[in-house]
Amino acid sequence: MEEKHKRIEELRQLLNQYNYEYHVLDQPSVPDAEYDRMMNELLNLEEENPELKSDDSPTQRVGGPPLEGFQKVEHRVPMLSLGNAFGEEDLKDFDRRVRDRIGENFSYVCELKIDGLAVSLIYEDGGLVRGATRGDGTVGEDITQNLKTIPAIPLRLRENVSMEVRGEAYMPKPSFMKLNEVREKNEQDLFANPRNAAAGSLRQLDPKIAASRNLSIFVYGVGTVDGREISSHSNGLDFLKELGFKTNPEWKRCNTIDDVIDFIGGWSEKRPDLSYEIDGIVVKVDALNQQEELGFTAKSPRWAIAYKFPAEEVVTQLRDIELNVGRTGVVTPTAVLEPVLVAGTTVQRASLHNEDLIREKDIKIGDYVVIKKAGDIIPEVVSVLEERRTGDEKAFSMPEQCPECESDLVRLDEEVALRCINPKCPAQLREGLIHFVSRNAMNIDGLGERVITQLFREELIHDVADIYQLTHGQLIELERMGEKSVSNLLEAIRVSKDNSLEKLLFGLGIRHVGAKAARTLAQQFGSMESLVQASIEDLEAINEVGQKMADSVVRYFQNEEVHELIDELKDAGVNMIYKGPKPVSIEEIDSVFAGKTVVLTGKLEQLSRGEAKKKLEELGAKVTGSVSKSTDLVIAGEDAGSKLEKAESLGIDVWSENRFVEELNE
């Protein structure tokens, strides 16, 4: 037994060293075949001697049995997101704010911003005990078993230190290409980009799937560490490297913001040559005592900022223009493109918004066009390359009839958009059904776009009332619907019947009535019956309801088909009563904010903008986005700009955030 134990320890040490050389240093010292032979020997020895197994053995990387689910875990130190910079001016503003607080004697560290999944790793006495996703920054998910499959994550450190570290797990470009090639052969959906592939791999319940995906990691920071003093971020990076972590070597200490800008410019050009995706540069004040002095806002540290690369622009051919009919009847033209990679994602379609935009940009079918992603998310046609036209391009004009039901299209209220106003239009009905079951409406889990489309195609549902007549026998016949899925879906439908009235109102898709307006109407009228009987004057008497919304609501409830629909929903047991807190009149609110028009400006530190707005509205204030003569109060946070200047010029009362919070506490 002693001999076997000695051999197991010897194999573990050798395999850990070979693993470090291959995945961290990128300097393999033995052939793959030799590594595999030794790994198999260790696997066999541990299988024969289970009492000698260890959590930090290299064999733990192959992936254990599937998990039942991920547990929520709270981070010891919150993983806050960084503020963003999109150009030189944003960087210089950041630099000015830093200098205003800590003076001139400091330096920055610039690092590549890896486009992956942020994770936290916890080690106790040198051994990995837990790994978690960032989650909402405070609470993440325990994905320890999946993270153990990443060879670049040490299962045991070179010192027996207890610490928490942060890193970015990612999928290298070659691994991403290979994965999608395999998925294409197997007729599976392709991953859009390496970031999605990495995140999807680490959230698999079967660790063997994560193990097969060839993921890696760069560790970029120390969260907490016991018994070790670290004076700067750059010292922390050196310490992490000494412990055996894989850190990104492409970082630089910069003394001025101009040096930072030069570093960014260099990597903007070299970015395509990397074997992994980056989407920007992270800039941090180096000294930790200065980071502490700068502190945090409610959402992000004041000592760091993330520079985001400008949207990548590429050229491709516009092959066709398709028309889509939305829930409200708006007909939207969509460009069908020759597939092209933009900012790490394959783009095949881009919205053209309306006919006026097509004319303004002189877009023709067959044109070569410049494509970019607005905010690195939404594909957009920027311009046409007229010099590449051959004469075979075709001009496009919007049709006069709906592409779905052939009803005449109209323009309402001098809108740019063309609409189909046929209430029986199948496209509108289908989109309306998808909206009705969505999270902010009736929130029927399991009844997503795919299932709605199936039900609609099979003519099992025609309007939203039909959802509540669905049976087990109808659902079990649908493709990809098993016994458990059907049972869960029917339960979700049943539960949705008890929703408060505002959920139903929003789900009905009344024009100009969003989620907030639906809640206001439900609060004021209390029941569907009262709202149906409301006049335009009744509606306009409500502070937040304007003429357009009032007209739209009255016109909607004048439709006989709507009355029939509501009766069907009522007969199915769908709640028609408001269940939330009762509205309070301004006169009843004992608050200095009651009846006041308030503007929030600048960066708030103690509350988010949304939290401040909600509290003000609860106390009877009307919160608007611009300063005018009707504004009663401006609450100014850090770096307040033109709104503060205008308020001062108009003599409007201005409060600091501290005064605002003191008033809330009282």
Catalytic positions, please? 113
Q: Are 122 and 266 in contact (CB under 8 A)?
A: no
User: Are the beta carbons of 430 and 451 closer than 8 angstroms?
Assistant: no
User: If we measure between CA atoms, which residue out of 74, 63, 71, 43 comes closest to residue 146?
Assistant: 63
112: its two tokens: 């590549």
Describe the crossing of helices 426-436 and 449-457 by its angle, rounded to 10 degrees. Answer: 140
DSSP string, 525-543: H-BHHHHHT--HHHHHTST
DSSP 3-state percent helix, strand, coil across the chain (nearest 5): 40, 20, 40
Burial (CB count within 10 angstroms: exposed 0-12, middle 13-18, buried 19+), residue 223: middle
Phi, psi at 31, each rounded to 5°: -65, 155
What 3-state DSSP class applies to 118? strand
Question: DSSP per residue over 160-228, as a string?
Answer: ---EEEEEEEE--HHHHHHHHHHHHHTTPPPPSSHHHHHHHHHT-SSHHHHHTT--EEEEEEEEEESS-
User: Of the candidates 506, 505, 512, 510, which has an alpha carbon nearest to the alpha carbon of residue 548?
Assistant: 512
Residue 627 exposure: Cα atoms within 13 Å on the Cβ side = 21
Torsion of CA 320, 325, 326, 331, to 10 degrees: 80
The HSE-up count of residue 334 (CA atoms within 13 Å, CB side) is 15
Hey, is 6 helix, strand or coil?
A: helix
- Taking alpha carbons only, the member of 397, 399, 405 closest to residue 365 is 397
Q: Which of 310, 293, 312, 306 is nearest to 260 (CA)?
A: 306
Q: How far apart are CA 81 and CA 304, in angstroms?
A: 10
